[in-house]
Structure 1
């Protein structure tokens, strides 16, 4: 009798362990699902972006002149080609001794 009771307890423990294993395996499967991984990545990126914006805003409040100078330099860098063309046209216009000739062909 004692052996049969021990066998039944062992079978019950094995069934419980199997159920726990299957539950854990299902949870792991859901955790590595592509949709879940994609959503986790989106959440992480949006959290990092919001944190970066908040940090930049705090830095801008602490150092407004430095941030303004950096922003101005960045804008000038982006507009360097149009500004160069403008200054070339102005240079030609100021240096042109004969105003009867225009710098373009349209008259």
Structure 2
């Protein structure tokens, strides 16, 4: 999930290039609806800063409640320590800094 269409399209293409099937959403409510309707989602890859009142971290926490088997990977241009000071306990989620390289993303997803 990303609110920037070009970034979301690029990330989706990167994920497809390493063998993942990809479903995209441009905001938290749409992503939650997909998670509620589908049982074939294994990974939520989301930007942290999102529009429409729901951050990627809020989405990650809700995902853990409604779909506890889904692994969450957060992406942000902000450093993790800064995010932890604002959002506190993020240790249950994987994290990757933007901009990320394909090799780093693949490693994070497969970990």
Compute the TM-score of the two structures, normalised by the length of structure 2: 0.18
Please state which structure has a larger fraction of its residues in helix: 1
Larger radius of gyration: 1
Higher RCO by CA contacts (8 Å cutoff, separation 6 or greater)? 2
